[in-house]
Structure 1
Amino acid sequence: MDLKENLEKLYNEISEAKESSNFNRDVKLIAVSKTHPVEMINEFHKLGLNDFGENKVQELISKFDEVNGEINFHLIGNLQTNKVKYIYNKVKLIQSLDRIKLAKEIDKRAKADDISVDCLIQINIGEEESKSGILYEDTEKFIYELQEYESINVKGLMAIAPNTGDELLLRKLFEKMNKMFEKLSSNNFDRVEMKYLSMGMSNDFKLAIKEGSNMIRVGSKLFGNRNYN
């Protein structure tokens, strides 16, 4: 598999999506490296990629010390409270903050180390029972509650759209996310900055970019099919 070719092709597709978007936003690429070996991460790093997304804490930790150079890991999967201690000081961004119990644990660990942890609030935009995330209408209330936890910086919003071929539905959901993102961009909350709108994966990132996404999480288009062995 030619990783350089995969990356160049993806960059071209991102450029095309940006050109057909009404939003002039730079798009940050998170390469979803879950189930793929460290060698592939190092290869992509040589090609200029610095940000990699992992779903599972254990896998992230096992790769953390093996990668070459300065690599930013993003935790993009559901984070259990009892696993926070392993990664709170290792990740660039926790993209799946979705409950106060989790915020409390992150804050406690960060406070003890006198550091801040950057997080995205995960919204369950499709209201799917199988997915994590807060309800869309609870976003502002959740941010208000997070004000109590001074070691957490909210850097934006994250959503995983339903796995569907219904482009109309996807555009509608992405548009809805962007509305919340723009609304919160003029907020007066402490430690809340709408820097990233993380939405769009291998199968729907073009639509997401068209509707305002400035951070996409792409795995199979870069790494090929996942290896679950």
Structure 2
Amino acid sequence: MAINIDAYKGVLAQLSPYHAKLVAVSKTKPVADIEAFYAAGQRIFGENYVQELTDKQAVLPADIEWHFIGHLQSNKVKYIAPFVHTIHAVDSLKLLQEINKQAAKQQRVIHCLLQVHIAAEETKFGMDEQELQQLLQTYAANPLDFSQVRIAGMMGMATNTTNEIQVRKEFHQLRQLFGSVKTTYFNKEDYFKELSIGMSADYTMALEEGSTMVRIGSLLFGERNYSQM
């Protein structure tokens, strides 16, 4: 195993002053690696692929809080609806409606984060501000149609670049948008509080820019070998 428990403890120490949560990104990693971090106290794990997540959930402890952090197709929601705690990448009204539908079938409430496109790369997913506003207006106008989802915050992925000024700017812009959305749509709600930004390479900047939840994989689990998938 290439896991790094010392790095894990170091990340937790850095998160502590910010009261931020760690999502340990375990995609492509074996069950044994997850079990090792579970034994060290970690309970929140993030996965990107539906089949991999369902396979792991079936054999790992029931008190793990599973987060789906990848791009999610509407027709795959039904497979994770019975157990997923939070879906990070809600990037359309259609997807939010399907999550609500499948959560209702399971008599559950699923936490959702609205993904906003903040990076320079067009390949990254997420809504632009106009699409975000349209979703929020529909949500606010029809609350009973979304009774099985809880919009708990927002998520974004910065540009994959070594330019720290650009990354910080993108994080800062999302933090400002998060504040505006909270004031406009969720000012009376205490659950709209999560800002999921920051990964292994940029999480320290994300914390400084207001992140409440970082998604860290390679720093904890080692680099991924996708050829073995």
Same fold (TM over 0.5): yes
Aligned counterparts, 1:17-166, within 5 A: 25-126=18-119, 128-147=121-140, 148=142, 149-166=146-163
Structure 1 residues 138-165: Cα deviation after superposition (integer angstroms, max 9, x where no partner): 4333212234323221000000111001
Task: State the partner residue of 1:168.
Answer: 165
Q: Which AA in structure 2 matches 1:9?
A: G
CA shift, 1:42, in A, is 1.0
2:215 paired with 1:222: no
Alpha-carbon deviation of 1:66? 1.2
Shift of 1:3: 3.0
CA distance in 1, matches of 2:190, 2:128: 19
Name the CA shift for 1:142/1:193 in 2 (closer, same or farther; >3 Å).
Answer: farther
**Is the counterpart of residue 11 in structure 1 residue 12 in structure 2?**
yes
For the aligned residue pairs, the C-alpha RMSD in angstroms reads: 1.9
Deviations 1:104-129 (CA, angstroms, capped at 9, x unpaired): 21122222333222100011112532
Indicate how the Cα distance of structure 1 residues 121 and 127 shifts in structure 2: closer, same or farther if over 3 A, else same: farther
Distance 1:82 1:29 in 2: 28
Output the CA distance in 2 between the equivalents of 1:28 and 1:103. 23
Identity %: 38
Which whole-Å CA distance do the structure 2 matches of 1:126 and 1:115 have between them?
33
Gaps of 5+ in 2: none
Alignment size in residue pairs: 221
Aligned with 1:187: secondary structure? Answer: helix
Structure 1: tracts of 5 or more residues without a match: 19-24
Q: Distance in 1 between matches of 2:163 and 2:44?
A: 29
More divergent stretch after superposition (4-13 vs 97-106): 4-13
Which residue of structure 2 aligns with residue 22 of structure 1? none
- Matches of 2:7 and 2:62 in 1, distance apart? 22
